[in-house]
Amino acid sequence: MDLYIPAGLLFVLEIALTDVRAAAVKNGHGNAVFTFLGGVFIDWHSEAFMYGIFSLVTCGGTALLFVLRHQINLSRAEACL
């Protein structure tokens, strides 16, 4: 593994504004991890397998967001009672 990904993460950390630094670093780490995993999946199976896994992860994350939003709305409704 070369030094491109860690150097990119350090660059993002340096140029990001203080208010959004945590979000920028988390986004950079997520991109680095999924870039690495994408390469592993392509070596392991195929591009179609990689896109299939990533689409399942995306659908799972979207479902999780909807569930959390529903729970937050329920807790707000109970607080108003």
Whether the per-residue pLDDT at 62 is higher than 60: the answer is yes
Give phi and psi for 17, each to the nearest 5. Answer: -65, 155
Determine the pLDDT at residue 67: 96
Tokens 């709305």 -> residue: 73
**Cα–Cα nearest to 10, from 1, 21, 2:** 21
Residues 22 and 26: their CA atoms lie apart, in Å, by: 6
What is the DSSP code (8-state) at residue 65?
H
Q: How confident is the model over 12-59, as pLDDT tens digits?
A: 778 878 787 777 777 777 777 888 888 888 999 988 988 999 999 999
Sketch the domain layout of the chain as residue ranges: 1-44, 47-81
